[in-house]
Amino acid sequence: MVYGLQRALLAFLPEVISRGLIDFLANKCTAVVTNVAGPSHEVFLEGRKVRSFLFWVPQRAQIGIGISILSFAGKVQVGVIADKALLADPAHLVEAFEEEFEALRSL
């Protein structure tokens, strides 16, 4: 619902107004999580095998945590960016993801 509202705001209101309203809505969020499916096979760049990919969630307004999940060639890469006031050590969250992925693999 929020996504649709944001698209409408960007399409119909002047940018100065729509950006302010979008930031107002974004400030109601604590985290953004996004999942991107990368290539399912190995990729080579100038003859060298790409070992991993990583991307960061675009942070907007005062959103304090961004979690990016990327699958690539049978692997999953998790990236976390966080405001230290909300999450002092993002590595703990990454470790929790790793533990849960391992639990899923054992099913």
pTM: 0.70
Please report, rounded to a whole number, the percentage of residues in the chain having pLDDT higher than 70. Answer: 99
Where do the structural domains in the chain lie, given as residue ranges? 32-105
Q: What is the mean pLDDT of residues 59-86?
A: 87
Q: Quick one: 67 exposed, middle or buried, by C-beta within 10 A (0-12, 13-18, 19+)? A: buried
Q: Which residues contact 18 (CB under 8 A, 6 or more apart)?
A: 9, 10, 12
Average pLDDT, the chain: 86
Q: How far apart are CA 69 and CA 98, in angstroms?
A: 12
Residue 9 has what pLDDT? 74
Residue 13 has what pLDDT? 82
**With 80 as the cut, is the pLDDT of residue 106 above it?**
yes
Token pair of 104, please?
A: 């899923």
The Cβ of residue 21 has, within 10 Å, a number of other Cβ atoms equal to: 14
**CB contact at 8 A, 53 and 77:** yes
Query: Kind and range of the H or E element at 95?
Result: helix 90-105
Residue 100 has what pLDDT? 92
